[in-house]
Amino acid sequence: MVSVGTPSIIAETYCRVRRQSLELCEPLTPEDMMVQSCADASPAKWHLAHTTWFFETFVLREFARGYKPFHPDFVWLFNSYYNGVSAQPEKKLRSSFSRPTADEILSYREYVDSAMDDRLPAAAGEAEERVVLGLNHEQQHQELLLTDIKHAFWSNPLHPAYSHGPIDMPDLKRAPLPATWIDLPGGLTEIGSAGPTFCFDNETPRHRVFLEPCRLASRPVTCGEYLQFIQDGGYSRPELWLSEGWLVAQNGRWEAPLYWQRNPDGGGWQVFTLRGLISLADLLATPVCHISYFEADAYARWAGACLPTEAEWEAAAAPLSVAGNLLDNNSLHPLPAQDASQLQQVFGDVWEWTSSAYLPYPGFQPLPGALGEYNGKFMCNQMVLRGGSVATPASHLRASYRNFFQPATRWQFSGVRLATH
């Protein structure tokens, strides 16, 4: 994770994170960078602008004496949801921003980066903490940029690939390893950030929870296993679904995860990936992804199991190192488990839905001022996911990290790990 360090470390990390955002856009044309294919997503060039806006608004405007903003309208144009800063355009209208151009946004980034470079050596105290928060914020948007462009390319009738290289995995097509059950003893434990490295405010305060004994599946559910759920009528059996989930699935005419589509000849499935369309037959051992909380919960009921709570998940993950199939691996798609006899794929591959609602921890205090809107105001009608995905930078993760989305969300790399009690 990006954490507070010496001025030289912060400056190096700043350059690396900012450069990575630009590298993710290298395969994109200016036209690609304007597309907003669903209300949840944002155009790639908006991500580049908003992450720059964050540093300009919360660091340079407040701590850099004499700083002159790049453009007077950018303070509201690229504001996402910080009502304490300014009004902002509706999110669904971001694809209408043909101006400023992509080149102007790149100039905006260069302008702000130059101003930050002049001031990073002197950043201290709250200014330094905001720089680190801004870097972690940008890493979140790097993942969003990839998930958003994947949805945009899938929505395009030509189904263009973001990357044309093959998935580098020799045994991608092999039979999946049978999952085993890993016992968690339960009892009194602590969850939440223990510091001293960076964490978001929603990971605090660290607190005690009591866990009943449970078991976690050694790996996430695979595409092959989820296909059995489909073939057994999983999408047409209301007894498996929560009431709201059933309505969402019926209204959306769901019959499979997002990005699964029937083969042109009507037999079998293809899966759209960031590397283009791939036959489902070649992905049966990989974790199923792009399913909603409602689908994950319905699958768990069908399998005679349940979803873990976020506390159970964190207790299992806490002793493990952050390693796995993450953005740094450049696979751009979940890969098969290599050893299902122990807890595998905890970090990376797919975000794992939990059964926990996204709520404040006991004693939670949001950051002061407008930055308090970062996480706290979303603690309603959302469910917690854990573990990161193929689009998450490795340095961004830790066992206490709490992601959250509405239960119908599917465009993220979200999957499921089963639990039993």
CB neighbours of residue 279 within 10 Å: 13
Which residue, among 373, 220, 191, has the nearest Cα to 296 in the 3D structure?
Answer: 220
Q: Which two tokens stand for residue 279?
A: 């036959």
Contacts of 56 (CB under 8 A, 6+ apart): 69, 70, 74, 75, 112, 115
**Strand, helix or coil at 379?**
coil
Q: Residue 1's pLDDT band (boundaries 50, 70, 90)?
A: very low
**Burial of 165 (C-beta count, 10 Å sphere; 0-12/13-18/19+):** exposed
Instruction: Quote the crossing angle between the two packed helices 102-119 and 44-55, to the nearest 10°.
Output: 30
**Residue with tokens 């929560």, as numbered in its chain:** 242
Residue 174 has a pLDDT of 72
Q: What is the pLDDT of residues 16-52, one digit of tens each?
A: 999 999 999 999 999 999 999 999 999 999 999 999 9
Cα angle 311-316-321, degrees, rounded to a multiple of 5 = 120
Q: Mind listing the pLDDT tens digit for each residue in 364-378?
A: 999 999 999 999 999
- In angstroms, the CA 136 to CA 99 distance is 27
What integer is the mean pLDDT of 389-395?
97
**Percent of the chain predicted with pLDDT > 70:** 97
Average pLDDT over residues 295-305: 98
Supply the pLDDT for residue 121: 73
CA distance 347 to 212: 23
DSSP class per residue in 244-292: HHHHHHHHTT-SSSTTEEE-TTSSSEEEEETTEEEEGGGSTTSBP-S--
Work out whether the CA dihedral 271, 276, 281, 287 comes out positive or negative. Answer: negative
Residue 2: per-residue pLDDT: 42
Q: What is the pLDDT of residues 188-245, one digit of tens each?
A: 999 999 888 999 999 999 999 999 999 999 999 999 999 999 999 999 999 999 999 9
283 in Cβ contact with 172 (< 8 Å):
yes
Measured distance CA(70)–CA(77) in Å, rounded: 12
Q: 4: pLDDT confidence band, cut at 50, 70 and 90?
A: low
pLDDT at position 7, please?
Answer: 76
Contacts made by residues 28-35, CB under 8 angstroms, sequence distance 24+: 28/149, 30/101, 30/102, 32/149, 32/152, 32/153, 33/102, 34/95, 34/97, 34/98, 34/102, 35/95, 35/149, 35/152, 35/155
Average pLDDT, the chain: 94
Query: What is the pLDDT averaged over residues 307-332?
Result: 96
DSSP state of 56: I
pLDDT for position 271: 97
pLDDT digits (tens, 9 = 90+) for 95-150: 999 999 999 999 999 999 999 998 887 778 899 999 999 999 999 999 999 999 99
- Per residue in 326-358, pLDDT tens? 999 999 999 999 888 899 999 999 999 999 999
Which residue ranges form the domains of the chain, and what is each CATH number? 7-155 (1.20.120), 181-420 (3.90.1580.10)
